[in-house]
Amino acid sequence: MVVIEQPDPDCEHDPITTGGRDYAFPRSARLLNSAAFSRVFQKGKRIHTQSLMLVAAASEVGEPRLGLAISRRRVARAHERNRIKRFAREHFRLKRNSLPDCDLVLLAKAGVAERSNQQLHQEFEQLLKKCEQKCVGS
pLDDT, mean of residues 25-52: 93
What 8-state DSSP symbol labels residue 30? B
Confidence (pLDDT) at 23: 74
Between residues 133 and 43, the one the model is more confident about? 43
Q: Is 95 exposed, middle or buried (0-12, 13-18, 19+ CB in 10 A)?
A: middle
Domain boundaries, the chain: 26-135
pLDDT per residue over 78-132, tens digit each?
A: 999 999 999 999 999 998 888 989 999 999 999 999 999 999 999 999 999 998 8
Q: What is the pLDDT of residues 63-83, one digit of tens each?
A: 999 999 999 999 999 999 999
Pick the CATH number of 26-135 from 3.30.230.10, 3.10.580.10, 2.60.40.10, 3.40.50.2000: 3.30.230.10
pTM as predicted: 0.80
Cβ atoms < 10 Å from Cβ of 30: 15
DSSP H or E stretch at residue 61: none
